[in-house]
Amino acid sequence: MNDEKFTLIAPCHFGLESVLKREIQDLGYNIINVSDGRVTFEGDSKAIARANIFIRTAERILLKCGSFRATTFDDLFEGVKDIPWERYLPRNAKFWVTKATTNRSALFSASAIQSIVKKAMVDRMSKTYHTSHFDEDGDEYPVRIFILKDEVEVTLDTTGVSLHKRGYRKLVGKAPISETLAAALIMLTPWRSDRILVDPFCGSGTFPIEAAMIGANIAPGLNREFTSDKWLKFMTKKEWYEAYDEAASLEKTDIEMNIQGYDLDSEMVKCAIQNAKEAGVDKYIHFQARNVRDLRNPKPYGFLITNPPYGERLEEKEALPELYNMIGESYRGLKDWSMFIITSYEDAERYLGRKADKNRKIYNGMIKSYFLSYMGAKPPKRKPTNGE
């Protein structure tokens, strides 16, 4: 629409900032800052559409409207009132503070922060629109406030329903891994679409489905809507249409992949098949009810990427040594394969039978988890054929 630049913030799982940073750079945007669980970058209004549609590893895309220091509620009120809300919100906008987080700050009552921010916004908009009454019967503009060490950051949530809700996962089992986390973990591995990928604990199919979407270059937000796709004060519908068209044009429809998902529970396998259909990737994945001890594959250089049970309940914990032993044994039977496991089970490496080549700490929600990497041999480089 114009060359105006915006500051955008993409929150993510702690420990996955490097993957998200790479995604944003691949879209062509400048990184402003990387901190724990978030990447801040700069982009034009079209960047809001492209980031929401293309990024696999962020939880949402926030538009930064202002920042200032506040140690009192008066400071907060004045700081929010100084933000040019008329630049973003039309007169009939429905606006509210959907979340306020505060850490190591004088202001700590989330409900009081929410209430004062709303009052300050109304005060500012009253002067612009010459009314003290707002019907709020228009499009939604959810506000999110972050206060860290008395520094306030005021943002608009451009996403709405979190980005991990791709729209394909209609059916889930217990403790499913989120789509954004699964995509980020796959992207932390050297897996490429021409290599075999097996998830022996596939549950509702998230790892295989996200891998197939990455391999076929299907944008994760292609088949869903976003809160900001109706914001017309500083964006246009045309920018959204162009971003969706760009995403659709980049999909690889002629690709072949060997992706497999197994689970002991045949009902979960049915869920996974249905979810893969919803995502439009069922042709790339073979799902089957199978025990991890029966994992065999004659081909070398494959990838095992999985989220095995890690014993939330006591009786499950007692079964873990045998289960992880079994995973280790099956892995040792695969020639030159690499294995990547996310688990919060502290003794995982011990029972897998080998220390991981790399152990990365990742927070899965509030659960401290470990992403264990076991690197197999690299396949030999292909000799170029004539004409290449």
Question: What digits encode the pLDDT tens for the residues 93-152?
Answer: 999 999 999 999 999 999 999 999 999 999 999 999 998 889 999 999 999 999 999 999
Same domain, 10 and 151: yes
pLDDT, position 1: 44
Quick check: is 30 in a domain?
yes
pLDDT, position 388: 45
Same domain, 297 and 208: yes
pLDDT at 385 over 80: no
Same domain, 99 and 150: yes
pLDDT, position 309: 83
Same domain, 200 and 103: no
Quick check: is 387 in a domain?
no
Quick check: is 228 in a domain?
no
pLDDT at 322 over 80: yes
Q: State the CATH number of the domain containing residue 80.
A: 3.30.2130.30
Same domain, 12 and 146: yes
Q: State the CATH number of the domain containing residue 199.
A: 3.40.50.150
pLDDT, position 176: 77
Would you place residue 56 in the very low, low, confident or very high pLDDT band (cuts 50, 70, 90)?
Answer: very high
Section 35-57 average pLDDT:
97
Same domain, 206 and 285: yes
Same domain, 132 and 199: no
User: Which of left, alpha, beta for 301 (phi over 0: left; psi -120 to 50: alpha)?
Assistant: left
Mean pLDDT of the chain: 94
Would you place residue 3 in the very low, low, confident or very high pLDDT band (cuts 50, 70, 90)?
Answer: confident
Quick check: is 151 in a domain?
yes
pLDDT at 248 over 90: yes
Is residue 29 within 8 Å of 42, Cβ to Cβ?
yes
pLDDT, position 187: 98
What's the whole-model pTM score? 0.94
Quick check: is 48 in a domain?
yes
Quick check: is 145 in a domain?
yes
Is residue 146 within 8 Å of 105, Cβ to Cβ?
no
Quick check: is 169 in a domain?
no
What is the Cα–Cα distance from 208 to 199, expressed in whole angstroms?
7
Same domain, 53 and 193: no
pLDDT, position 80: 98
Residue with tokens 């039309």: 90
pLDDT at 77 over 90: yes
pLDDT, position 114: 97
Same domain, 200 and 315: yes
Quick check: is 170 in a domain?
no
Same domain, 68 and 129: yes
* Contacts with 388 (C-beta within 8 Å, 6 or more apart), sequence order: none
Q: What are phi and psi of 191, to 5 degrees?
A: -60, 140
Q: What is the 3-state secondary structure (H, E, C) of 49-79?
A: HHHHHHCCCCCCCEEEEEEEECCCHHHHHHH
What is the Cα–Cα distance from 42 to 47, expressed in whole angstroms?
8
Section 284-298 average pLDDT:
95
Same domain, 137 and 200: no
> Where does the chain show beta strands of DSSP type E?
6-11, 30-35, 38-43, 62-69, 94-103, 140-148, 151-157, 197-199, 259-263, 285-289, 303-306, 338-343, 358-364, 367-374
Number of domains in the chain: 2
Domain residue limits at 340:
179-221+258-374
Candidate from 61-65, 155-159, 176-180, 336-340 with smallest mean pLDDT: 176-180
Same domain, 66 and 112: yes
Q: What are phi and psi of 61, to 5 degrees?
A: -120, 120
